[in-house]
Amino acid sequence: MYDLKKRMRLATLWFAVKVFAFGGAYYCVLELLWRGRTHWTMLLMGGTAVTILYFIFCDRLHMPMLLKCFVCAALVTAAEFICGCIVNLWLGWDVWDYSDRRFNLLGQICPLFSLFWGLLSIPGAYISRILHKLHDITVMKEIGKYEKRADT
C-alpha cells in the first residue's frame, strides 16, 4: 500500500510540474500577444499562479464561476504585486510599469489588469477541469500498474 501512495504522490508531483510548465508558457504567450514581449520571470510567475489556481479550482470544481473569477483575479494580482515589487522595484529590471494606469499601486498592479485576470479565469477554469481529468487518468494508470504487479 505504501508503494501505491508513493507512486500516486509522485504522479501528482509530476503532473504539477507539467501544469507549472503549461501555465508559464500560457502566461508568456499572453504577454507576447498583448505587449509583444515578455521576460523569463513571467514564466516563473505564470507557472506559479496557474499551478496554485489549478489546485484551488480542482479542489472546488463546483465553485460558482463568478467566485472563481474573483479568486483568480485576487491571487494573480497578489502574485503580480509580489513579483513586481521584487523584479521591478527591488532589482530594477523594469519588466512592467502600470504607473500611467488609474488607481495603480506602486506601478505594479492596477484594477484594469485585475479585471483582465478575472476574465481570463473563465477559460482557465475549463482548462483546469480538463487537466484535472487528465490527472485522474494518470493516477488511475498508476493504480492499474500497482494492481497488476500485486496480482503476479
Cell 522595484 sits at which residue?
89
Contacts of residue 30, defined as CB under 8 A and 6 or more positions apart, other chains included, come to 46, 120
Looking at residue 146, what is its pLDDT?
67
> pTM value?
0.80
Looking at residue 90, what is its pLDDT?
97
Low-confidence ranges of the chain (pLDDT < 70): 1-2, 146-147, 150-152
Closest CA to 73 of 5, 119, 128: 119
- Domains of the chain: which residue ranges? 2-151
Residue 109: strand pairing partners = 105
Looking at residue 56, what is its pLDDT?
81
